[in-house]
Structure 1
Amino acid sequence: MSRRNTGVTNQLTPLPPDDAPVIPDCPLREVLALIGDKWSAQVLVVLGDGPHRFTELERAIEGISRRMLTLSLRNLERNGLITRTVHPDSPPRVEYATTALIDEIREPLEALAAWADRNRPAIAAARHSYDSRV
C-alpha cells in the first residue's frame, strides 16, 4: 500500500482574511456532484435512448448493483432529472425517462461518455506509468 501522502496530513489551508470577498456557492459544483458520481452519468446516458425499465437499466450498466441503481434513480428523480412512471398493468410496469432538464446537457454528457470510452486505454497506461515511478 502506498504511503506517499503521510507527510502532508498536518498541512492546513489558511483561512481567507476577514475582508476577503465572499464567493457564493458554485452551482457547477452542485450539478457535477449530482450527475458526476460513479453511476448517475451512466444512468442518464442509457436513458438518453428513451424510457427504460429497472431491469433494462441494470443490464445496460455494467457493474451496478440493484441498491446503487435504486439510490441513483431516486436521487435523479428527486432532483427533477428523471421521471418514474408506474403503468397500471398486471404486474405493474415501472419506466424511467429523462426530463426536459437533461435535454440541454445530453449532448455534452454523451460526448464525455464517448471520450471516456475512447481514452480508457490511455488513462490506464498513464496510471500504470505513474504508479511504477512512485
Structure 2
Amino acid sequence: MKHLEGLQKMAAGDLPSAPIAELLGMNVTEVEVGKVVIEMETSERMYNPMGYAFATTLADDELFTTVEIKLNFLKPIWKSKLRAIGQLIKKGSSVGLLECNVYDEKNSLVAHSTSTCMILKGNPSGSRKQTK
C-alpha cells in the first residue's frame, strides 16, 4: 500500500506533488482506497489557443468547442524537444474531426490524439463570451 500512503502524505502536505501537478496548480485533497480527489484553480493562463489546425478552416463568424479528445501516449519522454503536427481529417457543417501526432527529436512518434470539435456559428466578434 505504499502508493496509497504516498498519496495520503501528499494530501496532508507531508510530501510534494508531482512536478506536473505543481506546474498546473493541482492539489491532492482526499485519498482513500479506489478514490482520489484533486482540486485546482483555473484562470486565463489555461485558456485554449483555439486549436490552430481547426481554426485555419473556420469562417469569420465561426468558433468551435471540443466535444471529445482521445490521447495515446506511446512512449515516455524524459527530456526532448517535441514537435506536434495537427491536421484536419474532416470538417462537416457542424462537427470536425482532427488528429495530432507528436514526435521527439529522433522523429519517433511519442503520442497520437484525435479530437472531435463542434462548430459554433454566428459569432462575428471571433471571441468566446463567458456566461454565468
Q: Greater CA radius of gyration, 1 or 2?
A: 1
Q: TM-score, normalised by structure 2?
A: 0.21
Structure ranking higher in strand proportion: 2
Structure ranking higher in helix proportion: 1
Q: TM-score, normalised by structure 1?
A: 0.20
